[in-house]
Amino acid sequence: MASSFTTSVFQMKPTSGTHRVKIGTQHLNNTFFKPGSSIRCGTFTVGEYQWAILYYPYGHLSPVTTHISFMVELLSEAKDVMVILSFCFIDRNGIASDSHKESVVFKKGDTKGFSCSMGRDSLQSSDLFKDDSFTVECSIQILEPSVEVKNNIFISVPPSNMHQHLHHLLESGQGADISFNVKGETFLAHRNILASRSSVFQAELFGSMSESKARCIDIQDMEPQVFKTMLQFIYTDMLPPSGDDTDKGVDEDILAQHLTVAADRSCIVSQKLMYLQALWLVVHQFTRSF
């Protein structure tokens, strides 16, 4: 079964662009241009929007006619476009002057900009003026919200059922290569599994002992139920549910004692600890009944 966990990241992503325009001042007299009259000096694109720079030779608003003004107009269809707008002059050495900067919001047809703090006559006598012209630079940084959603898919891995397969292998006897005769009852098993779980079986089945060549090993000093339960633990690392053997005439406390001895003989430490715990529980329940 798969489950998902989503995360999102919000940020304002900037998109920037710059446009320079060189403005010649010859013939820009007040005969043709009145306060509030503008000249579109060029269009440019930043992001997905088209913009235009407007130059006001005699100011953007009356009655101040001694200062020039610059505006930016949004030409594209849009609304609520967040912009950091800046203007600066470029001197005759190509160095930018201090810029005028402001944060504004545009919609189509809006014009935003500034009036130059330097008078028109002062500008013409400054280092910004060369060959009857000057250069102004407009920079636009558009801030647009961005949300990135990540969908992390987790696959739920079911718990291991290897013990069930190994238990079936033990019960079916498929591929068994060793058998045990325990007081007349035969149990099939697999040498590799037994040897991997017990150093005693390792030495007995793959060492120099006579049993390593045998196909069947006789065990006469252990009860069949005890041996069967020990095999189940070797294959599955689990004890059978409580009560599975009591209907065969073997009490749980007696079975636990025998299994502890069997685990000790087979050097199965984890099994011995489990059986000791089971034995303690039986004794504990017995003493509590009085």
Name the band, by pLDDT with cuts 50, 70 and 90, for residue 42.
confident
Instruction: Give percent of the chain above pLDDT 70.
Output: 77
How far apart are alpha carbons 131 and 102 in whole angstroms? 30
Closest CA to 47 of 110, 139, 109, 114: 139
Q: What is the predicted pLDDT for the residue at 83?
A: 94
Please identify which residue in the block is written with the tokens 């059986």: 275
Residue ranges and CATH numbers for the domains of the chain are 2-148 (2.60.210.10), 162-288 (3.30.710.10)
pLDDT digits 0-9 by tens, 230-264: 888 888 887 776 555 444 545 555 656 666 665 56
Q: What is the predicted pLDDT for the residue at 288?
A: 44
Closest CA to 94 of 44, 122, 120, 128: 128
pLDDT at 37 over 60: yes
Alpha helix stretches (DSSP H) within the chain: 120-124, 162-172, 191-197, 199-206, 224-236, 252-266, 269-288
**Side chain identity at residue 32, one-letter code:** F
User: Which whole-number Å values give the CA distances from 208 to 6, 196, 201, 202, 213, in the listed order?
Assistant: 61, 17, 12, 10, 9
In this prediction, residues 24-45 reach a mean pLDDT of 80
Q: What is the predicted pLDDT for the residue at 287?
A: 38
The full length of the chain comes to 290
Q: What is the predicted pLDDT for the residue at 105?
A: 92
**Side chain identity at residue 159, one-letter code:** P
How far apart are alpha carbons 59 and 30 in whole angstroms? 11
Check if the beta carbon of residue 85 is closer than 8 Å to that of residue 101.
yes
Cβ-count burial of 256 within 10 angstroms (0-12 exposed, 13-18 middle, 19+ buried)? buried
